[in-house]
Structure 1
């Protein structure tokens, strides 16, 4: 079982390392107080842990505090399509919080720490904190834009172009998350294949 800390908060919201990132806006004192109350603890998981499973309901919403994860869907025969990669600052489980059931799964690529929030407090955020509500909407819109580019790659780019785009995309995302001091992208050729819609053999030849 994945351990989760709820009684003791290891990283208080006011000391969150993501606040130093210039790509994130500063909270007002009132917003920071609400988010600190909204947060219920932290979930710590090893690489390869399933954070959320397709078809399940979760009472929790997460933000990724550190590490890498990815969203994916699986066909009945076990074939997997990676939809997107998650980096620090990303929301995890918003779809399940709005729709009620997860339409995809989330797995950690590296050891991760996630901030845990109660889903039933999301309505309070939208009703009482319009700037935070805008932030959530903006993040959902950004996710849609990334999926547009990924779909374009799958539909119109050749294998070499897909691979080049993916590497550049992941590096740029890591840079914005402040993770390029040690630019290690923890993906295997299987992850690349499942993202690009290629066989592992074709992926190996493409990356050589």
Structure 2
């Protein structure tokens, strides 16, 4: 668990303006005006700069982190120093939840952008759920959602070609981001990834990722340049990614 000083504290907002409620977070099911069981247990929201770890591989973690703003990568480091990105967490995600509570973490979590998180001690979860049972269901739903996304990407890494893996990853991130822009039909977005990040997430070398992105641009399917993603042909991208359109819609829901 990050020690004081690893992030800066931020004034707690009122319940009506809390990002954990308005940004599909842990309090997303709270009704306006209802008592907030979480408020008396969570600490002040904490800010982390890009590159800072919320927790590292092998560290004990006795709190959960509700990501309110920014992007986080979950990662593992192999003995030879190679990195595998396991998952990209977007606002609303819950990080650090472990059924053992305080057990050693089997992966690390690092800020991909500047982020804001809300922190709740593991020991507070039982009393919160006792007071507000829907909180427990919400927590289970958020964890299950990210597991489903991770399983889907694991399948892609294990069975897709390099072209399919890159298309699958970029399409998934684009759709997940756009789900947080209600009513938006923009086919372009800032994507805070480097080609190295894409390689670490898909199991490909930098050279291979560069070649795939060049081919996708040449085929007028998408452009990814200087961390900006532009979808040129959504239908072709879905085909290349080897995805059922209904599955794409399920990510939004």
Q: Give the TM-score, by structure 1 length.
A: 0.88
The one of 27, 30, 36 aligned to 1:27: 30
Following superposition, the deviation at residue 123 of structure 1 comes to: 1.7
Aligned residues: 206
**Relative to 1, partners in 2 of residues 1:26 and 1:135: Cα closer, same or farther, differing over 3 Å?**
closer
Say whether residues 1:89 and 2:92 are aligned partners. yes
Equivalent position of 1:11 in the other structure: 13
Following superposition, the deviation at residue 29 of structure 1 comes to: 6.1
Equivalent position of 1:184 in the other structure: 190
Equivalent position of 2:160 in the other structure: 157
Following superposition, the deviation at residue 98 of structure 1 comes to: 3.5
Distance 2:76 2:99 in 1: 14
Residue by residue over 1:108-146, the C-alpha shift from the partner in whole angstroms, topping out at 9 and shown as x without a partner, is: 111111112122101223334221111111112112211
Structure 2 unaligned blocks of 5 or more: 215-253
Equivalent position of 1:80 in the other structure: 83
Structure with greater Cα Rg:
2
Equivalent position of 2:211 in the other structure: 205
| Counterparts of residues 71-150 of structure 1 (less than 5 Å) | 71-95=74-98, 98=101, 100-150=103-153
Distance 2:153 2:72 in 1: 17
Higher relative contact order (CA 8 A, sep 6+): 1
Distance 2:12 2:189 in 1: 26
Distance 2:18 2:65 in 1: 14
CA contact (8 A) 1:60 1:97 kept: no
| Bigger fraction of residues in helix | 1
CA contact (8 A) 1:68 1:86 kept: yes
Distance 1:96 1:57 in 2: 13
**Relative to 1, partners in 2 of residues 1:74 and 1:86: Cα closer, same or farther, differing over 3 Å?**
same
Following superposition, the deviation at residue 26 of structure 1 comes to: 3.5
Say whether residues 1:61 and 2:64 are aligned partners. yes
Following superposition, the deviation at residue 31 of structure 1 comes to: 6.3
Residue by residue over 1:45-87, the C-alpha shift from the partner in whole angstroms, topping out at 9 and shown as x without a partner, is: 1111111101111232111111111101111111111011011
Structure 1 unaligned blocks of 5 or more: none
